[in-house]
Amino acid sequence: MNAKLWIASIGLVLVACGGGDNKPANTGGTKKGDGLTKKEEVSKEAENKFNAAMDAFIAHDKANDWNEAVCNDVAKQFESAASEQKGGSLPEATFNAGLVFQRCGKDGEAKKRFEKALSENPQFHHARAQLALYEYKANGNEDAAITALQQAVLDAKFQNVPALVNLAMMQMQRDSAQGGDGCKDDMECAKKNLQRALAIDDGFMPAFNQLALYYFNQAKKRAGAIKSGKGKRQIATNAAIGKRANVQELELAALVCSQAIRKNPGYAPIHNTAGLIQNELGLVNGAVTEFRAAAQLDARLFEAQMNYAAVNLSFRGFEEAQKAYQKALEMRPNDYDAHLGLALALRGQINDSNYDKQVAAVQAELEAAKKIDGARPDAFYNEGILVQEYKSKGLDKDKTIAAFEQAQTILK
């Protein structure tokens, strides 16, 4: 089994994670906060509790130690601050409680808080932007998401940095000829919104990350080497293997990553993006280093685990690929590509001493993938390879013929 077979079997699945990490809202319209509740309208008790909750939020963000107990505690602190306010309404506190639940993956609880914050103040653009993303996740309607995010940006008078970044992300994803004020199409509008975001906050890492992805995508589009997989996952397809993206734009994307990493070397997604760029430039060792860094900085970053696994798989680093795919599956047990990748990593480690156990493990992962999406051919193709290359070995003549016939049937 050669390297070409591995690429043909799965391709190199490289996942780009972008979008705006969400900052907590402050009251008082300070430089750092852009909340809508005026400071003089906030009771002293509510302000004290709100500030204590903010300190806790920021500390846990820096430590990256969110867990269920911590989330429940910090969310309660924000909700306690809201209860101290006259009428029990402080949308900034309610919104921040939602962000806390987001940090722990409790999207249902987060969405409830965002809806409550928006009902308390229909102009609360932070909540509107978050709800737009939840609606998109539910229905996949890019046009509706962009319209809602544009409204949030307008409500914020173009000062909501995460909303600008998320709007740019959605515009890049739609990538249509629809223009806007001062921009001719989605990609140009996206770039303009990212520049606006960085002009307001030149330390906002998601804006740097999305700008790097903008140049990365533009480089690959010009080469005709980019297609979107299910769920908008970027895949280097077999047809694109020989197509390399525009080097000048890739180097520009790499420069954005370099500047961002100098500002904040601890931001995992920018390392993931840097890995995508290094891989496209053919610098595999650099890609491995960046993907590994991203995975180590944030063990919950699914994209980094998938990319670290895929790039290891591409040069037959089967054990490392196996570990990374297993970590990815802990986060998303029903991800087709993770099951398929794990099957290939396991297949690469089959030997005489583990033959029966390893072949069974490979088959189990392929079966899991087929259950997730029976319409995709990848798992069936690799099942055919498994039968042809392994299950047919050591059988008598009749069984060998039967095994090859089974493989031929699968591969048709």
Tens digit of each residue's pLDDT (9 = 90 or more) over 310-326: 999 999 999 999 999 99
Q: Which amino acid is at 17?
A: C
Domain of 351 in residue numbering reads as 333-412
Higher pLDDT, 176 or 375: 176
Q: Which amino acid is at 197?
A: A
Enumerate the β-bridge partners of residue 236. 12
What is the distance between the alpha carbons of residues 407 and 412, in angstroms, rounded to a whole number?
9
Determine the pLDDT at residue 250.
Answer: 95
Top-confidence range, 103-107, 288-292, 394-398: 288-292
| 255 and 302 belong to one structural domain | yes
Q: In the numeric block, which tokens belong to residue 321?
A: 């690929």
Residues in the chain: 412
Domain assignment present for residue 307? The answer is yes
Higher pLDDT, 300 or 161: 161
Enumerate the β-bridge partners of residue 12. 236
Average pLDDT over residues 220-247: 56
| 307 and 209 belong to one structural domain | yes
| 242 and 306 belong to one structural domain | yes
**Does position 285 have pLDDT exceeding 70, yes or no?**
yes
Domain assignment present for residue 389? The answer is yes
Average pLDDT over residues 170-175: 96
| 294 and 400 belong to one structural domain | no
What is the distance between the alpha carbons of residues 327 and 300, in angstroms, rounded to a whole number?
9
Average pLDDT over residues 14-33: 52
Task: Output DSSP code: residue 21.
Answer: P
| 300 and 342 belong to one structural domain | no
| 342 and 314 belong to one structural domain | no
Determine the pLDDT at residue 354.
Answer: 96
For residue 281, count other CB atoms closer than 10 A to its CB.
Answer: 18
Domain assignment present for residue 190? The answer is no
Determine the pLDDT at residue 320.
Answer: 97
**Does position 412 have pLDDT exceeding 70, yes or no?**
no
| 228 and 297 belong to one structural domain | yes
Last residue of a domain, one of 296, 319, 342: 319
| 312 and 337 belong to one structural domain | no
Domain assignment present for residue 49? The answer is no
Please name which of 382, 384, 374, 303 lies closest in space to residue 344, comparing C-alpha atoms. 382
pLDDT band at 404 (very low <50, low <70, confident <90, very high): low
Determine the pLDDT at residue 391.
Answer: 81
**Does position 385 have pLDDT exceeding 50, yes or no?**
yes
For the chain, the domain total comes to 2
Last residue of a domain, one of 319, 350, 385: 319
Determine the pLDDT at residue 243.
Answer: 53
Domain assignment present for residue 280? The answer is yes
E-state strands within 157-245: 227-228, 234-236
Buried b (16+ CB within 10 A) or exposed e, 362-373: bbebbebbbebb
Q: Which amino acid is at 307?
A: N
Backbone angles phi, psi at 169, to 5 degrees: -60, -45
Q: What is the CATH number of the domain that holds 339?
A: 1.25.40.10
**Does position 36 have pLDDT exceeding 90, yes or no?**
no
Q: Are 280 and 245 in contact (CB under 8 A)?
A: yes
Domain assignment present for residue 304? The answer is yes
| 306 and 221 belong to one structural domain | yes
Q: Are 104 and 66 in contact (CB under 8 A)?
A: yes
For residue 138, count other CB atoms closer than 10 A to its CB.
Answer: 9
Q: Are 101 and 71 in contact (CB under 8 A)?
A: yes
Handedness of CA 243, 7, 174, 261 (dihedral sign): negative
Average pLDDT over residues 272-297: 95
Determine the pLDDT at residue 238.
Answer: 42
**Does position 11 have pLDDT exceeding 60, yes or no?**
no
**Does position 209 have pLDDT exceeding 70, yes or no?**
yes
Determine the pLDDT at residue 62.
Answer: 86
Determine the pLDDT at residue 181.
Answer: 85
pLDDT band at 240 (very low <50, low <70, confident <90, very high): very low
Average pLDDT over residues 225-240: 46
- What are the pLDDT digits (tens) for 353-379? 999 999 999 999 999 999 999 888 888
Task: Output DSSP code: residue 352.
Answer: T
Determine the pLDDT at residue 167.
Answer: 97
Domain assignment present for residue 210? The answer is yes
- What are the pLDDT digits (tens) for 42-99? 889 999 999 999 999 999 988 889 999 999 999 999 999 999 988 888 999 999 999 9
pLDDT band at 3 (very low <50, low <70, confident <90, very high): very low
Last residue of a domain, one of 319, 344, 364: 319
H, E, C per residue of 286-341: HHHHHHHHHHHHCCCCHHHHHHHHHHHHHCCCHHHHHHHHHHHHHHCCCCHHHHHH
Determine the pLDDT at residue 87.
Answer: 82
**Does position 395 have pLDDT exceeding 90, yes or no?**
no
**Does position 333 have pLDDT exceeding 90, yes or no?**
yes
| 209 and 313 belong to one structural domain | yes
Cα 317 to its chain centre, rounded Å, is: 24
| 263 and 341 belong to one structural domain | no
Determine the pLDDT at residue 41.
Answer: 79
Strand 12-13 relative to strand 234-236, pairing: antiparallel
**Does position 15 have pLDDT exceeding 90, yes or no?**
no
Domain assignment present for residue 113? The answer is no
What is the distance between the alpha carbons of residues 262 and 278, in angstroms, rounded to a whole number?
17
| 235 and 281 belong to one structural domain | yes
What's the mean per-residue pLDDT of the chain? Answer: 85
Q: Are 37 and 84 in contact (CB under 8 A)?
A: no
